[in-house]
Amino acid sequence: MEVVQANPPDSDAEVAEGVLTTTDFVDCYQSHYGRLVRALRLGGADAASAEDIAQEAFARALVHWRRIRRGSNPPGYVYTTAFRLLQRAQRRRGLPPPPAPPPVAPTELSALTAVAVEASLAAMPPRRRACAVMCLIVGLSASDAAAALGIAAGTVRKHLDEARRDLQAACGPPA
């Protein structure tokens, strides 16, 4: 993937025949795109919307990549952008009803647990679900999730406590 440079490059190593190389962007895209789409799906987006939002977030990041890549967490910028786009889309169309859980056919305990977790996430309010997905599934810290969602870290921790209770109630006590 190549981007025509608008500003002078940071170093001569970045220039190849007048084009800014973006191998670090490609690496970020390849390693985080699938995880971001899954996180957006768990955050309440349907499959097509999750892919559209993830692509839009990466496109926006590419425009400012030279600045973003110098930051402490370039993928965090993409996740923040994606979840803000998701929140905007959810506000525009109102709160959608949670999707119906898929039919349960397998007898494996892990499959039943996965279905229970997905159903529990779908039933959560959007902000609590976003906090749970970002912290418990994606692995962001409460402060990173707070920055991404534009809320206080204490609010994220409160939503995480409630989400953990919801998930424990859905999955049952540990054996």
The tens digit of pLDDT for each residue in 95-112 reads 554 455 555 455 566 676
Look up tokens 């859980």; give the residue: 101
Per-residue b or e along 150-160, where b marks 16 or more CB atoms closer than 10 Å to that residue's CB: ebeeeebbebb
Q: Report how many domains make up the chain.
A: 2
| Domain final residue pick, 42, 75, 96 | 96
pLDDT, greater one: 20 or 162: 162
Residues 82 and 103 placed together within one structural domain of the fold: no
Judge whether 126 and 95 are in contact, CB under 8 Å: yes
Instruction: Provide the angle, in degrees to the nearest 10, between the axes of the packed helices 109-123 and 153-171.
Output: 140
Q: Are residues 90 and 103 in the same domain?
A: no
One-character DSSP codes across 24-68: HHHHHHHHHHHHHHHHHHHTT--HHHHHHHHHHHHHHHHHTHHHH
Is residue 107 domain-shared with residue 165, that is, in the same domain? yes
Looking at the fold, whether 71 and 127 belong to one and the same domain comes out as no
pLDDT of residue 4 exceeding 50: no
22 contacts 2 by C-beta, under 8 angstroms? yes
Residues 112 and 84 in one domain: no
Same-domain status, 127 and 173: yes
Whether residues 73 and 151 share a domain: the answer is: no
Q: Which has more confidence, 22 or 119?
A: 119
Given a cut of 50, whether residue 71 has pLDDT beyond it is yes
State whether 106 and 41 are in the same domain.
no
Cα(170)–Cα(140) distance, integer angstroms: 23
| pLDDT at position 9 | 47
Q: Are residues 18 and 86 in the same domain?
A: yes
Q: Greatest CA separation found in the chain?
A: 62
∠ CA(140), CA(123), CA(48), 5° rounding? 70
Give the per-residue pLDDT at 50.
92
pLDDT at 37: 92
pLDDT digits (tens, 9 = 90+) for 111-143: 767 777 888 888 889 889 889 888 888 888 888
Phi, psi (degrees; rounded to nearest 5) at 126: -55, -45
Q: Two tokens at 98?
A: 């949670």
Q: Is residue 2 pLDDT above 60, yes or no?
A: no
State the residue range of the domain holding 154.
99-175
Q: Are residues 63 and 121 in the same domain?
A: no
Residue 156 in this model has a pLDDT that exceeds 90 = yes
* Residues 6 or more apart whose Cβ sits within 8 Å of residue 31: 75
Looking up residue 174, the CATH number of its domain turns out to be 1.10.10.10
Kindly state whether residues 109 and 73 are assigned to the same domain. Answer: no
Report d(CA 144, CA 80) in Å as an integer.
9
Domain limit, last residue, from 53, 75, 96: 96
**Residues 39 and 103 grouped into a single domain:** no
